[in-house]
Structure 1
Amino acid sequence: MMLEDLYRLLKSGHVQAQGVVDTMTQPIVVLDQNFCVTTANNAFIRSFKVNRDDILGESFFGLGDGQWDIAELKNLLASVIPKAAAVIGFEVKHDFPKIGLRTFLIDARRLIHPNDNGTNILVLFDDVTDRQHHDAEMEFIVSETRHRMNNLFAVVRSIAMQTSVEDRTAVDYRETLLGRLETTFRAQEIAATRDAADFEDVLRLAVGELGVGRLSCNGPAIELESPKVLSVSLIFHELTTNAVKYGAFATPEGKVHVTWTLDGTAPERPYLTCEWREENGPRVKLPERKGYGTTLMKGTSAQLGGDMELTYAPGGLTAVLKIPVQ
């Protein structure tokens, strides 16, 4: 029911008017020309934790030891209302003794009775505290989502721009790009839902189904900070891609052994040292040129504050990654 509908109902003096008002969920009071309470509905009694008998006939501004003696509200009722037919959505924020800090939108209207010269004021309170909290949370979520999307787009654009097209077919380029993007999205999902992730989980997720039965892991439980999940995932994805093309995953017998340790000699800056070692793959030879994958791995490890060394031994590639962790 809108303020105008309520006004017409109360002005009519209909016998059921008070009953209708009492069914409304919004707190409502009617004040006389001296700002004393003549009517208060059930919602007002419940919302502000008062007894009806204690407030009827009493000054509205003196209720609850003066909890309604609010400068903004006094100005609204004492000055604005006599000069205007209605006021809609006047915001009052106050720390009430019994219900705490709340925010109300107040609608008020002069209620003029045709049979006398008295002027009452109809006041309706809309508690928007929870709604404002919800709106603030949604605004934060939208802002955070926009920020993450911008970051993700920047990552995707960087990967696309730096994925080399030289000496590649369109199919090869597509598969390489899609593989890197898939790893990026999986890593972003982990980073967005956790403050930290288990290092082994990140490793196995980056290697994927290729590692089933062919990847052995051995090392202590280490939590990887969320901002590092994407970078570490991309490094292991590049190692996996290289192993599929030229290394252990290129043959049915090939295996990859990954071991890691935590160097805590400097407690304020411990280092994770991880070794990726391939065996039973094709005979390894030193690449004729450094590809994007190698550049990505070395550049990414450097951005993390660490380094990475690749050893192209004939029996299999060995990669040693060293990065700081908390």
Structure 2
Amino acid sequence: MVQGPSGPQVIMLQGADAPYHMLVERMSDGALTLDADGSIVYVNSRLCALTGLDARQLVGRSFASLFAGAAPQQRADDSASDAQLRRADGGDLPVSVWMRQMAMSGVVATLVTLTDMSVQRRAEEVATAERFARSILEQATDAVVVLALDGRITHASWVAEQLAERSPVGQLFSEAFPLDAQSASQQGTLSRFSRESLDQALATKPFHGVEVALRNPRMSGRSFLLSGGPLVNDAKDAVGSIVTLTDITDRKRAEEQQTMLVAELNHRVKNILAIVQSVAGQTLRTSPSLPAFNKAFSGRIQAVSIAHDILTQTRWIGIGFNELLTTVLAPYGVGEGRIAIEGPPVLLEARLVLPLSMVLHELATNASKYGALSAPLGRVAISWNLRDDRRRLELVWLERGGPRIEAGGARGFGTTLIDRVVRFDLDGEATLAFEPDGIRCTMIFALTAETTPELVPASAVQPD
């Protein structure tokens, strides 16, 4: 029924097997007819279902009132557009609107169909989400699997396939990835579940950071973190779970190395403090005055500082013996012709740097105060050679051109320190000869240690 020239008219489609309303009632889409003014004159039952209104509530309303926001415009030619259909419950429904004007019995009417796009949109969203999830699985650097509620794997990342040595899809998680906990407490977490119920637990209860190992010879020695949680749908119902196995082997090794380095640093600090404590006490006892103590002690601490600078710059790996001599003896004219250095290339272990620095400092200090370096024409010759298949080094410190020295010489704390440091820290022996032309100090010590030297006890540097 539309508004005709002489009042309302009932129009039938010509050439159809049934009246118009019988055709549209069988449609899966909503359908309606508009008159020239845009008023609704007919609706099918599907449109009533889409809007939540009955035909009596719809007929006579304006077409625009059906929509939230802008309504499709009536046009002379066929047109299609998207719109939001307003429902009686206050919600909006995405629809595709197709419109066509037709002349029936001399009267122009517009036929309209509305297709529910919510199912299609939802399907598109699901497809997009699946593509996104698949992309995550393909790019994940951890082993990631998706479990159904029965514990069987439905999706797996490529890393998971590598760990399982084949596609684990269709298997129970415990079959594809047999696990052992790495600690007693975490073993208790896993042992609460039987082989069958572990899969069920993974699908319904969260796990976070359980350290495990795979019972797989190929993965021997590797550690993993097991984490997982429920996978829920829009209704917040659990439909499965997402489980990850993260390889933490390299991280654990780094942590163990850090722990070892901290322990080593602690050992070295204690060693240095023991040396400093002993040096301070004995320097104080053998110093005639406080200024003399300050000068002697500061010099010895400076030697320790130089040694640590060297170790820091070389990352505690070691240093060439020639470079060590040049650095420690720089304040005494090693580059000015007064100190000659000669010997084969030798790489010193880090453990040798500090004690050698202290010994060289004592020799150089003594030479600058009382020996060759205290005289204008005095010279020091330092030479070394390798012995015992390069396992030991023989070092000779020879002074010439200094003040005449009486046989036997005076034995002070510096002499004692040299002797004790060479014996305790360098695993060697030192011989100090007071020759008339100058001091000759010969040291022989091991270049490699079979065991790590213990802390130097305070008594080790007590004078005889």
TM-score (norm. length: structure 2): 0.54
1:167 deviates by 4.7
* 1:204 aligns with one of 304, 323, 326: 326
Moved more, 172-181 or 220-229: 220-229
Does residue 1:36 correspond to 2:152, yes or no?
Answer: yes
Report the CA distance shift for 1:146/1:125 in structure 2 as closer, same or farther (over 3 A). Answer: same
2:177 corresponds in structure 1 to 68
Give the conservation status (yes or no) of the 8 Å contact 2:300–2:361. yes
Change in Cα spacing, 1:205 to 1:287, as seen in structure 2 (3 Å) is farther
> Deviations 1:23-79 (Å, cap 9, x if unpaired)?
544543222233322334xxx22454499x9554x12448xxx54244659467336
- Aligned counterpart, 1:217: 341
Counterpart CA distance in 2 for 1:285 and 1:291 is: 15
- Alignment correspondent of 1:317: 438
Q: Distance in 2 between matches of 1:70 and 1:307?
A: 59
Q: AA paired with 2:171?
A: S
Deviations 1:63-115 (A, max 9, x none): xxx54244659467336447x63222222212658877643322233446688
Identical-residue share of aligned pairs (%): 25
Q: Which has the higher contact order (CA 8 A, sep 6+)?
A: 1
Give 1:298's match in structure 2, choosing from 416, 419, 423.
419
Tell me which moved more, 291-300 or 66-75.
66-75
TM alignment of 1:53-64, pairs within 5 A: 55-56=168-169, 58-61=170-173
Q: Name whichever of 144-153 and 255-264 sits farther off.
A: 255-264
Counterpart secondary structure, 1:30: strand
Distance 1:297 1:129, change over 3 A: closer
Say whether 1:249 aligns with 2:373: yes
RMSD across aligned C-alpha pairs, in angstroms? Answer: 4.0
Equivalent pair of 1:191/1:227 in contact (CA under 8 Å): no
CA–CA distance in 1 between the matches of 2:153 and 2:282? 73
What are the superposed Cα offsets for residues 250-277 of structure 1, whole Å, 9 maximum, x if unpaired?
A: 233322123344565xx69866251412
How far is 1:155 from its partner? 1.9
Paired letter, 1:108? G
Question: 1:233 Cα deviation (Å)?
Answer: 2.7
1:18 maps to 130
- Conserved 8 A contact 2:178-2:215: no
Q: Distance in 1 between matches of 2:405 and 2:283?
A: 23
Q: Secondary structure at the match of 2:242?
A: strand
How far has the Cα of 1:214 moved from its partner?
0.6
Cα distance in structure 2, aligned partners of 1:288 and 1:69: 76
The equivalent position to 1:141 in structure 2, one of 261, 280, 286, is: 261
Give the unaligned 5+ runs of structure 1: 1-11
SS at match of 1:163: helix
- Residue 384 of structure 2 contacts residue 393 of structure 2 at CA under 8 Å; is this kept in 1? no
Q: Does structure 2 retain, via aligned residues, the 8 Å contact 1:30–1:120?
A: yes
Looking at structure 2, the residues matched to 218 and 295 of structure 1 have their Cα atoms a distance apart, in angstroms, of: 26
Q: 1:129 to 1:319 in 2, by over 3 A?
A: same
- Quote the offset at 1:292 in angstroms: 1.1
Q: Secondary structure at the match of 2:434?
A: strand
C-alpha separation in 2, matches of 1:114 and 1:190 = 64
Partner of 2:252, secondary structure, is helix
**1:125 counterpart residue number:** 245
Label 1:75 to 1:161 Cα distance change in 2 as closer, same or farther (>3 A): farther
Q: 1:132 to 1:75 in 2, by over 3 A?
A: farther
SS at match of 1:35: coil
TM-score, scaled relative to structure 1: 0.73
Unaligned runs of 5+ in 2: 1-121, 181-189, 448-464
**Which of the two has higher C-alpha Rg?**
2
Question: What does 1:143-292 correspond to in 2, within 5 Å?
Answer: 143-188=263-308, 190=310, 193=315, 197-210=319-332, 211-212=334-335, 213-222=337-346, 224=348, 226-262=350-386, 272=394, 274-279=396-401, 281-285=402-406, 289-292=410-413
Q: Alpha carbons of 1:106 and 1:147: their partners in 2 closer, same or farther (altered >3 Å)?
A: same
CA 1:78/1:49 → structure 2, altered by over 3 Å: closer, same or farther? Answer: closer
